[in-house]
Amino acid sequence: MAVTFVKAQLINYPSLHVYQRFQPKIGALGSSLSCEVSKNRRHFIVMSATAVGSPHTPVHASDKSGISIMVNGCTGKMGKAVLDAAISAGLNPVPLALGSPEDSGKIVDLGDKYVEVHGSDDREFILSSAIKEYPDLIVVDYTVPAAVNDNAALYCKLGLPFVMGTTGGDRDLLYKTVDESRNYALISPQMGKQVVAFLATMETMSQQFPGAFSGYNLQVIESHQASKLDISGTAKAVISCFHKLGVSFDLNQVQLIRDSKEQIEKVGVPEEHLSGHAFHTYRLISPDGTVSFEFQHNVCGRSIYAEGTVDAILFLAKKVKLKADKRIYDMIDVLREGNMR
């Protein structure tokens, strides 16, 4: 049975879209639409009404253009940024996605189409149904660290190629799961192409000059939006390179800055980017304090990651189509291929 969502705009808040679910009532004279609107929801006008299929209603093949993608975690800011970038690149977001139990039933507005978010209860059924309807489907995961391993295990069980942009989880188990399943996956703690190039440079330096900074003290300051709970995967990767360069440093020594006042005053984050930024500083100081080196990369907004994710999708889709022998990739593979947009 189809469910209709009516898109409304609050007069006092024209940029805020509200969705009211209408359930068709079947009677002797046919079907009619009815709903209850809270008395507290005043001052809104209906702008448009669009019928969206239920979770089990197939989407017609005419809706398929470009590579089909499912962005799990699309209610988050990163997921939404990826959807926008993907649509601009001609990719086709399917009308279903997975999210947290709290997000179940939410509708993400993409302008001319919608994505309905489902919780964990029926996620295997949702994915299986999507695979049947979109055989070339690529999943993009921007959920939460606690869901990384369970999600990856399900993708691998169903043979569903995926791009893992979510950091955290048990990374060794993640790679083991993908390797044993022979599923296609692109896994990267960092999707920003230029930042990945910096990481590759650090890795090369650590391999060619091991122990070059032996005895140096390392300070790491990492500032992200308050909603990011864990240490950045990028910071972990850079610190791993410093370990090879002879530096002793524990992850619990990373200074995680999530307080907005401190971010503005101490780190220099522009106020308009407090809700989305990544400022990292790595400072090396010689044992006697006379020599110091500083590596820094500051990112405002999410476009760099969203565009990199689109490149990752295009790269992985190509490898799947070619039935490449290698199954696990990262963003360095994407950079080396050199066919980014």
Give all strands (DSSP E) within the chain, no chain letters.
3-10, 13-27, 30-34, 44-52, 68-72, 92-93, 96-98, 107-109, 114-118, 138-141, 162-164, 185-187, 217-224, 255-257, 277-285, 292-300, 328-329
Residue 79: which residues within 8 A CB-CB, separation 6 or more? 71, 72, 73, 97, 140, 142
Active site residue 280: no
Record the pTM. Answer: 0.72
Give the pLDDT score at 167: 87
Instruction: Choose the catalytic residue: 80, 118, 224, 319.
Output: 224
Instruction: Choose the catalytic residue: 80, 193, 228, 280.
Output: 228
169-205 pLDDT per residue, tens: 999 999 999 999 999 999 998 899 999 999 999 999 9
Give the pLDDT score at 9: 35
298-309 pLDDT per residue, tens: 999 999 999 999
258 or 57, higher pLDDT: 258
Give the pLDDT score at 334: 95
What is the residue-averaged pLDDT of the chain? 83
48-89 pLDDT per residue, tens: 333 333 333 333 333 434 899 999 999 999 999 999 999 999
233-251 pLDDT per residue, tens: 889 999 999 999 999 999 9
Give the pLDDT score at 339: 65
pLDDT at 108 over 80: yes
Active site residue 77: no
CA dist 227 and 219 (Å) reads 23
